[in-house]
Amino acid sequence: MLQVARIQGGRKLQGTIHVAGSKNAALPILAATLLTTEKVVLHNVPDLSDVRFMVEILQHQGAEISQPKKGIWIIQARKIIHRTPYDLVRKMRASVCLLGALVGRLRQAEMAIPGGCVIGPRPIDLHLKGLEALGCIVSVENGLVTIDAQHSKGDTVFMGGPMGSTVTGTANIIMAATTTPGMTTIESAAQEPEVVDLCTFLIKMGAKISGQGTPTIKVEGVDSLHGCEHFIIPDRIEAGTYLVAGAITDGDVTVKGANANHLTAFLDKLREAGVQVETGADYIRAHGRPSRAVEIVTEPYPGFPTDLQAQFMALQLLVDGRSTITEKVYPSRFMHAAELQRMGAEISVDGPTAAVYGDRPLSGAPVMASDLRASAALILAALAAKGETWVQRLYHLDRGYEHFEERLRALGADIERLPAAAMPKGFAED
């Protein structure tokens, strides 16, 4: 059943919430559980539809999976198959992380190629080029990629592309290299905390990895990996989204369990915009509204994260003057701009740069979410708008935010989830 969010703007959000486990750390780590026949126990796994898609894929591959309680998954992949069909892959682009795990475990993989999506074309050429550098035989035919890694061996792999290094591409090469004979050196490796968490997990499984968190990662192949227990890192994007919710409503929100070191560029811009930010060992607090226009450039970590760009655009709507956003990771990730304009925003998009002319009156409207982060941005703008906003295509939100509307309600938001049929006549999509 299609669902929508109804938001009545104008309430200040105040209080404390606990950050969930990171989606983008959990997905490759779940894939990596296929690297061993032994039992793996994962804690702090977020309750998201993307996680459920990944669990479904792992079950298809042959893994036995149970969830003894919320946030904990036990996975054991005694015997697995190397084929992953399109009907599973098309549900979630991150299923591409399976390639490295299957190569590492079975020395072969056959997988439907995930398509692009609304945020950009999202090719996997760098993943495949990296596997070829390790001596894998890679062929692409009829929408399928087939990898034969029987004779692969460690080598130097370059993971940089026109948009910088690739996050899941780096994850794939690391996973494949864990059991590839010899030393693999990944240059221009992604430095994201989620890649570091994957390495922490793999090291617990017996992998020999060094340099994670820097542009050069070294992986020395081992014969096999074993089971382990791991606690997923906090979701920096979820944390950032709630901090924007506090600032956009001139409220006061503390995110407990968040790691401020993972959000340096974002917090720097929040402060530059005039929001009061306080950080401690395991919390981040944002209070007060923004007052200054700022320039944002999204970049691979440690730069400003593209996954917080849409939410920050919503925040910029409050500020008098001209703010800009330049997308260097996904140059066309601005679908939310047109929907924000329907709420009264003035935004002009020119190639990879959006200019936001803020301090225009925002009013509630029926809007359509185009992707995960866009859906969060529309809800954030709705919190600051006058009147009622209806956000459609809520399934995008559920891919990456655990119980978003419940958690916002706990901070004081007037938001509810309703069946699409509850929308005023003429608002709902067909």
| Residues assigned a catalytic role | 117
Please identify, using beta-carbon distances, which residue of 194 and 252 lies nearer to ligand EPU: 194
Contact indicator for 188, 232 with CB cutoff of 8 Å = no
User: Distance between CA 68 and CA 42 in Å, rounded?
Assistant: 11
- Residue 205, classified by CB atoms within 10 Å of its CB into exposed (0-12), middle (13-18) or buried (19+), is buried
CB of 327 to ligand EPU, least distance (A): 9
Pairing of strands 388-392, 3-8: antiparallel
Of 315, 226, 230, nearest to 270 by C-alpha is 315
CB of 331 to ligand EPU, least distance (A): 7
User: Distance between CA 312 and CA 334 in Å, rounded?
Assistant: 12
Please identify, using beta-carbon distances, which residue of 29 and 75 lies nearer to ligand EPU: 29
User: Distance between CA 146 and CA 140 in Å, rounded?
Assistant: 6
User: Distance between CA 7 and CA 17 in Å, rounded?
Assistant: 19
CB of 169 to ligand EPU, least distance (A): 5
SS3 255: strand
User: Distance between CA 198 and CA 333 in Å, rounded?
Assistant: 26
Report the interface residues with ligand EPU, using CB under 6 A: 24, 27, 94, 120-127, 161-163, 166-169, 194, 306-307, 329-330, 372-373, 400
CB of 292 to ligand EPU, least distance (A): 26
Please identify, using beta-carbon distances, which residue of 51 and 270 lies nearer to ligand EPU: 51
Please identify, using beta-carbon distances, which residue of 94 and 343 lies nearer to ligand EPU: 94
Cα 369 from chain centroid? 16
Please identify, using beta-carbon distances, which residue of 68 and 162 lies nearer to ligand EPU: 162
Question: Which residues are bridge partners to 391 per DSSP?
Answer: 5, 367
CB of 414 to ligand EPU, least distance (A): 26
